[in-house]
Amino acid sequence: MPPLPNPAAPCLPRPRLCPPSNAYLSEDEFKRPETTYPLKLFVCDHCWLVQTQDFVVADALFTSDYAYFSSTSSSWLKHAADYSAMITQRLGLGADSLVIEVAANDGYLLRNFVRAGIPCLGIEPTDATADAAEAQGIPILRQFFGIALGQQLAADGQQADLITGNNVYPHVPDINDFTAGLKAALKPGGAIILEFPHLLRLIEHNLFDTVYHEHFSYLSLHAVQRILQAQQLRLWDIEQLPTDGGSLRVYAIHADDPRPSTQAIADLLATEQHQGLLDLATYQAFQPRANRVKNDLLAHLIEQQRAGKRIAAYGAAAKGNTLLNYAGVKPDLLPYVCDAAPAKQGKFLPGSHIPIRLPAALRDEPPDEVLILPWNIAEEVKGQLADLAEQGVRFVTAVPELRIHQQG
């Protein structure tokens, strides 16, 4: 479903042009002009798919030095391991099965299937993460996924018992072509399982910072059901997950598969309608809530600066870049951000040009306050920095609302 440029249905207009949120800058790039793009959401009042109005082609976003490595988060590694064990039992996967993961990243998920002796194949176009996956013995195809690759896999006898994709469905510019590829690569009797942030929770919890160029689509179950049906696929089951502020795990099968659809699907479709996802007014009311978060963050940072407090941030996350660029935060208000990913250290945040330092900087010169940008793993970060809390350092998150976390 292509984006519908309906001027009567803006969802989240932005006054600024923004760079891609994962386009971290080296010192040389920091000195050159930076490429920026419009970042604005629209909702289709027919299919209820939400998309960015203007987007960049995928190969300009997911480059060979793409800096997001899934294994950086210990909680995400546990999530992947738990999922692998569950789905292996539910689908009865074994040595005669094939698991394909689209957007395999650094092998954070498929390594669990490798250890279990289940054949697998990762699809991953970015060289840096593909290298990390291959180092763990995971076969990788370095291509973007779509109908052409799906048909090629089928012709090569590589249809899968399980095709899985975590946080990839929103990242594809042509979601119909991608879904057609899933259909082609799926073995009869197999299952497609996709996890992605749920649009319902994005709106409910004011998670506007998850809007960035790498996310082409923002998905409700209503929209996903229509996309799947257009490719002769059918919803089989769903789970609602706490990850990323509230996500869906969608199970899809061939339309003629005899397995019945669960009641959970009808229940969630009814919930989405009840909570206004089929009403334009819901989307048009979102902008003022985003503005409130922006204004509260700016007021807090200015107040701390005037009080002579030292502030740092933790987590050079894409969502943090959206927040900082929307709020216009620069190094004068936030001198540096720390991150555990070596691929980001020594670089600068896109747009804001805030330098990225090693986490050790927080202990070398403890600040008065740490702004945790990846709010979805705030508890994990607080645990890693518990020694700073014992020294009186405060932790703050800005989304869904400004919150100063209590110690202990």
Query: 238, 261, 283 — which closes off a domain?
Result: 283
Q: Are residues 148 and 195 in the same domain?
A: yes
For residue 271, give every residue at least 6 positions away whose Cβ sits within 8 Å of its Cβ, in sequence order, or none. Answer: 200
Domain span at residue 323 reads 297-405
Q: Are residues 219 and 319 in the same domain?
A: no
SS3 label, residue 196: strand
Q: Are residues 368 and 251 in the same domain?
A: no
Element (H, E) at 142: none
Q: Are residues 303 and 269 in the same domain?
A: no
Q: Partners of 404 in the beta sheet?
A: 396
Summarize the confidence of residues 214-236 as an average pLDDT: 96
| Residue at 370 is within a domain | yes
| Residue at 35 is within a domain | no
For residue 247 the two structure tokens come to 């996500």
Q: Are residues 263 and 306 in the same domain?
A: no
Q: Are residues 227 and 371 in the same domain?
A: no
Query: 260, 283, 306 — which closes off a domain?
Result: 283
What pLDDT digit, counting tens, does each position of 142-175 carry? Answer: 999 999 999 999 999 999 999 999 999 999 989 9
22: confidence class by pLDDT, cuts 50, 70, 90: confident
Q: Are residues 229 and 95 in the same domain?
A: yes
Could you tell me the pTM of the whole model?
0.87
For residue 24 the two structure tokens come to 């971290």
Query: 224, 258, 283 — which closes off a domain?
Result: 283
Q: Are residues 338 and 257 in the same domain?
A: no
| Residue at 388 is within a domain | yes
| Residue at 42 is within a domain | no
Q: Higher model confidence: residue 40 or residue 293?
A: 293
What pLDDT digit, counting tens, does each position of 38-85 carry? Answer: 888 899 999 999 998 765 555 544 444 444 455 557 888 999 999 999
Q: Are residues 139 and 221 in the same domain?
A: yes
For residue 37, give every residue at least 6 positions away whose Cβ sits within 8 Å of its Cβ, in sequence order, or none. Answer: 17, 18, 19, 20, 54, 55, 56, 213
CATH number at residue 217: 3.40.50.150
Domains in the chain, number: 2
| Residue at 68 is within a domain | yes
SS3 label, residue 405: strand
Write out the DSSP string of 210-275: G--TT--EEB-HHHHHHHHHHTTEEEEEEEEE-GGGSEEEEEEEETT--SPPPHHHHHHHHHHHHT
pLDDT of 5 reads 38
